[in-house]
Chains A and B, each alone.
Chain A
């Protein structure tokens, strides 16, 4: 893993590790239902036990997302979301909390703005880096240059289907942490966590990754507990999106608190 420069994500995960636990990473899309709610919900997640916040950019063709996130991001776009607003959300959350704030985005919106320009503005907003579900290191030359220039984390994904060669290459390309996809599928709550997840994490660690976080299908404190036993961080998305949809920021705060209980400690700031 590229570690010659400081990483906000790595620092946040390491703070959790120093407390003897895995990190909790909460995802919500920007602009759902509106920009201010996204900021408030991000702050609520950070104050109720989330160590890292992942803010998604609503996109017209989200092929890795299941129906709950699709519905939310479609609504955000219909409500007039513009990509540049994501920087306001990031800045709003980083101004109020210590959480590392990453942006999760499909690649075309970044390309459209210009990879360098996007990166500069993300860094200015205090963002930690990008999680890129449809960008593999093989295509990421521009992103390597920009992320180095602005000191941003590059969070690439690994999957149960990744070969040892691709695991090694992806670990080498990543900075901050590696995002292990728990299951072959798209985002969405599932009854149980795939047994494939533990193996992916072990293989990714073995390939040299210091920090591996698991996402996809994680929705309950029990899931969090199970994954926290072997991973450096646990990523929850769909369940939080459903919470803000059904109960607003308060529901996000409550769910985050419940989830963080799975990390094996009471939340400090709640």
Chain B
């Protein structure tokens, strides 16, 4: 759908950028090139306008910014560390790899940055209830956390398949006082959770804010979610300058909807010397059709309010995505990423489940850090980039790469134990009677039934 005139203007932007004439930072939306916009029911436009207006005013309000900064520092634990991964680096051609430790934030991922910002906005709008979608559960947990902190009611929509994959996070959200609603429509994953959250929002918009968890969706969400995550890149840029005295050669992040990525990319977009890479979920391999590589293999379309790259069939029906990582299991991507892909500023590549899990294990064993499987896609990508950038170089350690370690992997231990064949047929860790879950065949059902009942109980 990108016509010739758009393509030309995108090229012009890229040229202008390379000549230092155009800033790619702070794109305000609603459009990023031909992407973004508001492909939404009229019923929700007034609510989107209210969010936009509240956000724009808050952004310019020193009191709001001070409140957010205080929460980031004294609640989330910011700034997050920038840790050099020396032993891991040996596997990346000898390039020096630094990890931006979003896994150390309260709740264990970057998601807290956005939810604190949006929950404060919800309070400003006088809303008493927030709803959220979640894939891996990280955004759901973060939303439940912010809601508890600020005294808001919280309902989280989560695909039934994801509830099974991330049962621990379901319990976590419930402990925090949130109601978790398992979504049984469609593929029962993130996209269907967003559909149900949108249906809830249109029905309860008077008292409810939709706390969207990624830099996708209708305007102002892509620009707003990016704004709340820009702190990642700002810190990383200052930290790498302090620790190495120079800018990195490359920045790597994983991409589902793309919020952690746009957050760290933002500060480096205008540094022409910094190569930027986004790693999508290649699932079982892009050639198998079972993947979530929207930019690599999708084509522009509209889903959930934004025009962006989208996995769709010849009829425009959304194709179900597949990834070992629930958090990347989304068939589209934030519109700013589509734009950055088209103009060539960011390189987007798929990483398979296997590559991600190898990087997962490598980081565990070389650095003593268990990463989220989502973030492991960025780690696997960084290994490739490191080898590429150091090839034929006399001093590979001159090459510096920052990886956004967007979350910790505690939630993924069961998936990893299965992947690495650490469990016997009863789900016990081999050679022990230690169970990561109940025996197969009973646990999946009963977990879901419990969460369904509790969700309904919380609702009634």
**Does A111 interact with chain B (Cβ within 8 Å)?**
yes
* B41 lies within 8 A of A61 (CB): no
* A134 lies within 8 A of B199 (CB): no
CB distance from B5 to the nearest CB of A (A): 13
* A107 lies within 8 A of B302 (CB): yes
**Does B316 interact with chain A (Cβ within 8 Å)?**
yes
Given contacts A60-B186, A64-B41, A184-B205, contact A108 B310 (CB under 8 A): yes
* B203 lies within 8 A of A161 (CB): no
Q: Which of A61, A113, A161 contacts B46 (CB 8 A)?
A: A161
* B43 lies within 8 A of A161 (CB): yes
* A162 lies within 8 A of B45 (CB): yes
| A residues near B312, Cβ cutoff 8 Å | 108, 112
Cα–Cα, bound, A220→B203 (Å):
21
CB distance from A87 to the nearest CB of B (A): 13
* A108 lies within 8 A of B302 (CB): yes
Name A83's closest neighbour in chain B (CB-CB): B315
* B42 lies within 8 A of A170 (CB): yes
Q: Which of A15-23, A135-143, A223-231, A261-269 is the interface stretch?
A: A135-143
Q: Secondary structure at chain A's binding surface: helix, strand, loop or mixed?
A: loop
* A64 lies within 8 A of B302 (CB): no
Interface residues of A toward B: which range? 35 or more
* B317 lies within 8 A of A59 (CB): yes
> Mask for A28-55, Cβ within 8 A of B = 1, else 0?
0000000000000000000000000000
**Does B37 interact with chain A (Cβ within 8 Å)?**
yes
Name B302's closest neighbour in chain A (CB-CB): A108
- Which residue, of A63, A77, A82, A156, has the highest number of chain B Cβ atoms within 10 A? A63
Q: Which of A60, A62, A135, A159 contacts B43 (CB 8 A)?
A: A159
Q: Which of B198, B205, B301 contacts A108 (CB 8 A)?
A: B301
* B203 lies within 8 A of A184 (CB): yes
CB distance from A199 to the nearest CB of B (A): 15
* A138 lies within 8 A of B38 (CB): yes
Cα–Cα, bound, A157→B46 (Å):
13
* B39 lies within 8 A of A61 (CB): no
Cα–Cα, bound, A66→B316 (Å):
21
Cα–Cα, bound, A70→B195 (Å):
11
**Does A181 interact with chain B (Cβ within 8 Å)?**
yes
- What are 16 A-B pairs with beta-carbon distances under 8 A? A60-B318, A62-B195, A63-B202, A64-B43, A107-B39, A108-B312, A111-B302, A133-B41, A134-B41, A161-B44, A161-B46, A162-B45, A162-B46, A166-B46, A184-B204, A185-B203
Q: 4 smallest A-B Cβ distances: which pairs?
A: A112-B316, A109-B316, A159-B43, A161-B46
Which residues of A are interface residues toward B (Cβ below 8 A)?
Answer: 59-64, 66, 70, 74, 77, 82-83, 107-113, 133-136, 138-139, 156-163, 166, 170, 181, 184-186
